Amino acid sequence: MDAKKLGLVFFPAFDWAINPVHPEREERLLYTRDQIVEEGLLDMPGIQEYKPNMARFSDIERVHIGVPDIKALITNAHLVSAGAAIAAADAVRQGEVDRAFALTRPPGHHAMRVVHGTRGFCAINIEAIMVEYLRTVYGIRKVAIVDTDVHHGDGTQDIFYHDADTLFISFHQDGRTLYPGTGFTDEIGSPMALGTTLNIPLPPGTTDDGLHQVLDHLIMPVLADFKPEIIINSAGQDNHYSDPLANMNITAQGYARLADKLKADIAVLEGGYSIENALPYVNVGIILAMAGMDYRKVIEPDIDKCPSEPLAVTRAIKSLVEERKGMWTMRERLRREVVAKTGDFWQRNRNIYYDDNGINERQTETVRLCPKCSGYLTIGTEAYGSGFVYKSAFAAVISREACSHCRQTAVDAVYKAKKQGKYQHYFVQNKHEDRLEKM
Amino acid sequence: MLLGLDVGGTFTDGAVIVDGKVVSVVKTPTTHGNLLKGILAAVDQVVEEVGSRHFTRIALSTTIVTNAFVEGDIDQVGLCIMPGPGMEIKAALPVEPYVLSGYIDHRGRVLNGPRQNEVIEACRQFGSCDVFAISGKFSVRNPCNELAVVQWVKELASPDHITIGSEVSGNLNFLRRTNSAYYNAAVWRHFNIFATAVETALKARGIKAPVYVLKADGGTLPLLVARDYPIEAIFTGPAASVLGIMAMNPTDIPFLSLDIGGTTTDIALWQNGVPLFAEGGARVGGFATALRAFKLSSIGLGGDSLVYQTRGVLKVGPMRLGPAMAVGGQSPTVTDAMVVAGLVDFGNRELAIEAMRQVAFDGRTPREMADIVLRAAVNIISQSIGDMLVQQANKPVYRVADVVHGTRFTVGHIIGVGGCAAGLVPLVAGHLGLTYDLPKQGMVANAIGAAVARPTVDITLRADTVEGYYTVAELGIKNKLSSSKFTLADAYQLAAAHLAELATNKGISLDVTEIIQSEEFNVIQGFRTVGKIMTCRLQVKPGVLMNNKEEL
């Protein structure tokens, strides 16, 4: 372990809650604050604390299309939390620190590109906002996001599903047993970005042993293969054995060793709701590991309660790793085959549920597979729910490297939809010109 | 009649205040090696000037503790820690500790008690130590493990003194408390010898006034109490000046103060009539401690700062070789530039001109050189002010409202004190576009500050209605809560009562008390609110006594 300088953007949002008894409430990081301060971590020469600023709406609209408007759907807390992720990115890219950890809330990894409300405690995707900020401000292209939250990072997956420059790896408790019920092995990205979405659904009861199997034999080799310019960790902490919302058995040591191996440039907190028994220890472990300091003594006082891994689980993980490795190795061939089979357009229809607001969204995505560029995407969205006023929108997303023909066709598609008048709102998210236009 | 004494690097200053007015000021050379000699010389001079030895109070600001560290005149400490699980702390401590079992968690629950056989081994290992320091993680949430170890150490080793971590500070930060406890024990003997010498000498002169010692946070402690907490008497020089400014310039408008002496300039930011405090505490010998102190930025630039050229670049400070050439020194200084520029009338002008001639380049006249030197000095000070304001603006905050509304610190005014303020402060103010003031008695702001410093004390009460108890670390208290419906208002009331108790223990009276921190969180188990955790910190507000009617 060699000492590295770690930037810590600590923002516990002590005055913000979804509601007073919601898991995402004021004191979620209180005991973590107590532990960090009591340890004296903020006085260590290798750890520099940073204050977040509020993210700008232009930062958010680089990623999200809010219906009717993102401003109406979020609070200042979301702007600060996204600002915390951006502050972490700046600290690293300005060379002030070697790595950074945005220990911030509210979280973001369930927030998708189109936003009608809050789902899985998330309204805007703070990692995705940070990634697009890094691309715009620092000219970064290839990014890897490793989501280590117990829940599938479906929002992040959605946002980068058509982007071959973003490798999204998520391990999580199997979607058949846990919210949001996605993240299966057949979700591998749309044809042009096939293989750059890598889901690793783990059986309930997975321990540090199983997790590090996956890390050593799958995630690390895949990362080495992909050669990203930057590695982001969506550092959810709810795989912990004491977490009340899930059924995994990872310890603080397991998480700290993960952080040590992964060597993410930037980590951003996601979930984790065992606020008293897990978060204080897991966070101290991650901070020490990221700062290159000795974390071996960070052990939960109730470690005896952590079960060992059933043999069946260990076996299931082994075969999962083999299967996933196979997919990764064959991804280029698979992609060529699928692209050839698909033709000019690829389409998918989905129902998306917003558990925090009781909203149902019906969405149709159409991706233009352009042989000359990264193409464009159109989205038709309709949202309804009891006590929710029906909303709909049609949008085109023009990729950063879209050719002039695709750029024009995308805008035309929106004008055409507007003429037909089936939707209430019309948008062009123009990444080529870095702006969101309401038509 | 309040007497204040401040022992500085060059001078020992004395000031007598009667009814808020300075009636006598003396300056004697500091006697390094035997500080008491210079202190007594100042006392004798004051007594002669005012014709009385009947002081209401004598307050002393000395470098005795700082010197003990500089000269290595500190004791070996038997440092025992109970770190439990977490960061490996050993490398961050000034000495190798003995690590004991025992762990208290963040809620103050004892998860593991200390073991007597380990304490026996620790006492054997520290057999040659006369002083001990004992510190445990989360001891401020529950001091019982620390107190058990203290009891065993007393029985096994009967040391002269034991410093307890939870007593040096009620705040979270095991690392800082441990360092504070270690340093406190290390200077305990040295300080007590000095305290006895002071008491004996004053008694011999028939001076019966109670003696107080200035603290780094601008408060004072009776000497008797300071004997147990000598670390509090470190860094009192700058604190004395700060209090002097408070006495001479009572205002609630934000401003910044510059204390420009011979060797250094101390910068402080003021809000609501008091300077900002250092986050978490001061640093001692490069180690973070829990010692409450004003937040000062100290830069190596003063009147005696050396002016020289190296490879064609003009340098100002931070070195000091001696006094200005204008008063017979050997090398050019900032003061010489001030004399040549006509900003101060001091010493021999011809010698000052010669000083500027020595550093002149490119055919500049001594007058032009003086301006160049002063511009460089002003730039150094202004840069530090700018850095301090940026640092303040970037101070982390943990609430959305604080980010949205901001905590930016804006100042429009400078108060300048110290021997060299008159020459430099107007230039700095001009450069930054600020207004300024140079209080008349600014040259002895330090001694005035010591004279009028109000005794202070602070307390941290934490109540956990789920666990059903509250703690006051500074008093080693962990008591049951009388009711499960305990509120934050109840917490304030209880804290006020314990603050009064602590004040009585420390021999000081409650004056203006204020809440310096309070927070309240719900504790939720399984989607149900089961209780609250509350923390409130109360203090006797640091400040100044400006007339004799105020109780000490």
Q: Do B174 and A40 touch (CB under 8 A)?
A: yes
> Tokens at residue B188, please?
């305990």
For residue B275, say if its preceding peptide bond is cis, omega within 30 degrees of 0. Answer: no
CA dist A70 and A84 (Å) reads 19
Task: Say if residue B431's pLDDT is above 70.
Answer: yes
Confidence of residue B251 (pLDDT cuts 50, 70, 90): confident
What pLDDT shows up at residue A22?
A: 87
Q: Cβ of B250 under 8 Å from any chain A Cβ?
A: no
For residue A282, the distance in angstroms to the closest alpha carbon of chain B comes to 10
Encode pLDDT of B462-495 as tens digits: 999 998 999 998 888 899 998 878 999 999 999 9
- As a whole number of angstroms, the distance between CA A1 and CA A14 comes to 34
A:B CB pairs within 8 Å: 126
Cα–Cα distance for residue pair A285/A296, rounded to 1 Å = 8
Mean pLDDT, rounded, for A168-189: 96
Are residues A151 and A298 in contact, defined by beta-carbon separation less than 8 angstroms?
A: no
Say yes or no to pLDDT of B511 above 90.
Answer: no
Average pLDDT on A247-258 reads 98
Find the DSSP H helices in A40-120: 57-61, 76-93
Residues A416-428 have a mean pLDDT of: 97
User: What's the pLDDT score for residue B72?
Assistant: 85
A110 in catalytic set = yes
Query: Taking CB atoms and an 8 Å cutoff, what residues of chain B touch A44?
Result: 87, 92
Q: Does the CB of B95 have a partner CB in chain A at under 8 Å?
A: no
Mean pLDDT across A46-65: 96
Confidence label for A3 from pLDDT (cuts 50, 70 and 90): low
Distance from CA of B404 to the nearest CA of A (A): 7
Is 50 exceeded by the pLDDT of residue A156? yes
At A1 the pLDDT is: 47
Residues B403, A299: C-beta atoms closer than 8 Å: no
Phi-psi region of B72 (alpha: psi -120 to 50; beta: other; left: phi over 0): left
Question: What is the tens place of the pLDDT at every residue in B181-224?
Answer: 999 999 999 999 999 999 999 999 999 999 999 998 888 889 99
Nearest by CB to residue A54, choosing from B88, B174, B403, is: B403
pLDDT range class, residue B549, cuts 50, 70, 90: very low
Coil vs helix vs strand at A322: helix
Minimum mean pLDDT among A77-91, B240-254, B372-386, B413-427: which range?
B240-254
List A78, A110, A152, A425, catalytic entry:
A110
Long-range pairs for B326-331: beta carbons < 8 A, 24 or more residues apart: B326/B351, B326/B352, B326/B355, B329/B304, B331/B306, B331/B307, B331/B355
Contact B87 A34 (CB under 8 A): no
Q: How far apart are CA B548 and CA B551, in angstroms?
A: 7
C-alpha span between B7 and B15 (Å, rounded): 12
Task: Please tell me the distance from the alpha carbon of residue B123 to that of residue A225, in angstroms, as a whole number.
Answer: 57
Residue A2 reports pLDDT greater than 70? no
pLDDT at B548 over 70: no
Residue B171 has pLDDT above 70, yes or no: yes
Write the DSSP string, B306-343. EEEEETTEEEEEEEE-SS-GGGT-SS-BHHHHHHHTTS
Name the pLDDT band for B407 (thresholds 50, 70, 90): low
Cα separation values, B411 from B25, B254, B388, B437, Å:
31, 6, 12, 14
Give alpha helix (H) positions in A172-310: 208-214, 220-226, 252-262, 279-290
Q: What is the pLDDT of residues A310-348, one digit of tens each?
A: 999 999 999 999 999 999 999 999 999 999 999 899 999
The arithmetic mean of pLDDT across residues B343-366, rounded, is 92
CB B336 within 8 A of CB B355: yes
B523 reaches A (C-beta below 8 A): yes
pLDDT score recorded for residue B7: 87
- Nearest Cα residue in chain A from B288: A43
Give me the DSSP letters along B108-174.
Answer: S-EEE---HHHHHHHHHHTTT-SEEEEEETTTTT--HHHHHHHHHHHHHH--SEEEEHHHH-SSS-H
Q: What is the pLDDT of residue A324?
A: 97
Angle of the B35-50 helix axis to the B174-204 helix axis, nearest 10: 50
Q: Percent of chain B at pLDDT above 90?
A: 60
Domain span(s) for CATH 3.40.800.20 in chain A: 6-322
Q: Band of the pLDDT at B552, cuts 50, 70, 90? A: very low
- End-to-end CA distance of chain B: give it in Å, rounded: 12
Do the strands A266-269 and B98-99 form a parallel or antiparallel pair, or are they unpaired? unpaired
Residues of chain B with Cβ-Cβ distance to A277 below 8 Å are none
Banded model confidence at residue B525, pLDDT cuts 50, 70, 90? confident
Q: Quick one: closest CA in A to B82, which residue?
A: A39
Q: Are B117 and B101 spatial neighbours (Cβ–Cβ below 8 Å)?
A: no
Q: What integer pLDDT is reported at residue B258 of this predicted model?
A: 94
Chain A positions touching B283 (Cβ under 8 A) are: none
Interface of B with A in 399-438 (CB under 8 A): 399-401, 403-404
- Best interface-test mutation with B: which of A9, A43, A76 has the largest number of B CBs within 10 A? A43
Q: What is the pLDDT of residues A74-93, one digit of tens each?
A: 999 999 999 999 999 999 99
- Checking if the pLDDT of B516 tops 90, the result is no
Residues of B in contact with A54 (CB under 8 A): 403-404
Percent of chain B with pLDDT over 70: 98
Say yes or no for a CB contact (<8 Å) between A280 and B106: yes
Q: Please give the CATH superfamily to which domain A6-322 belongs.
A: Histone deacetylase domain (3.40.800.20)
**Mean pLDDT along residues A30-50:** 96
Give the residue among B18, B39, B34, B35 at the shortest CA–CA distance from B26: B39
Within 8 A by CB and 6+ apart from A12, the residues are A28, A29, A30, A32, A33, A103, A104, A105, B398
Which percentage of chain A shows pLDDT scores above 90?
A: 94
User: What is the phi-psi region of residue B33: left when phi exceeds 0, alpha when psi lies from -120 to 50, beta otherwise?
Assistant: left
Query: Which residues of chain A make contact with B398, given a CB cutoff of 8 A?
Result: 10-14, 33
Contact B137 A297 (CB under 8 A): no
| Residue B85 forms contact with A (CB below 8 Å) | yes
Q: What is the 3-state secondary structure (H, E, C) of A226-249?
A: HCCCEEEEEECCCCECCCCCCCCE
Q: Pairing state of beta strands B255-260 and B265-271? A: antiparallel
- Residue B64 pLDDT class (50, 70, 90 cuts): confident
Dmax over Cα atoms in chain A, in whole Å? 65
Contact (CB<8Å) B87/A288: yes
**What are the pLDDT digits (tens) for B120-165?**
999 999 999 999 999 999 999 999 999 999 999 999 999 999 999 9
Whether B528 sits inside 8 A of A51 (CB atoms) is no
**What value does the mean pLDDT of chain B take?**
90
| pLDDT (average), residues A55-79 | 96
Q: What is the pLDDT of residue B218?
A: 86
Q: DSSP labels for B369-416?
A: HHHHHHHHHHHHHHHHHHHHHHHHHT----SHHHHHH-------EEEE
- The DSSP bridge pattern shows strands B413-417 and B255-260 to be parallel
* Model confidence, pTM: 0.93
Rounded to 5 degrees, φ, ψ at A425 are -130, 150
Confidence check: pLDDT of A120 > 50: yes
Average pLDDT (B333-359) is 94
Over range B80-87, report the average pLDDT: 96
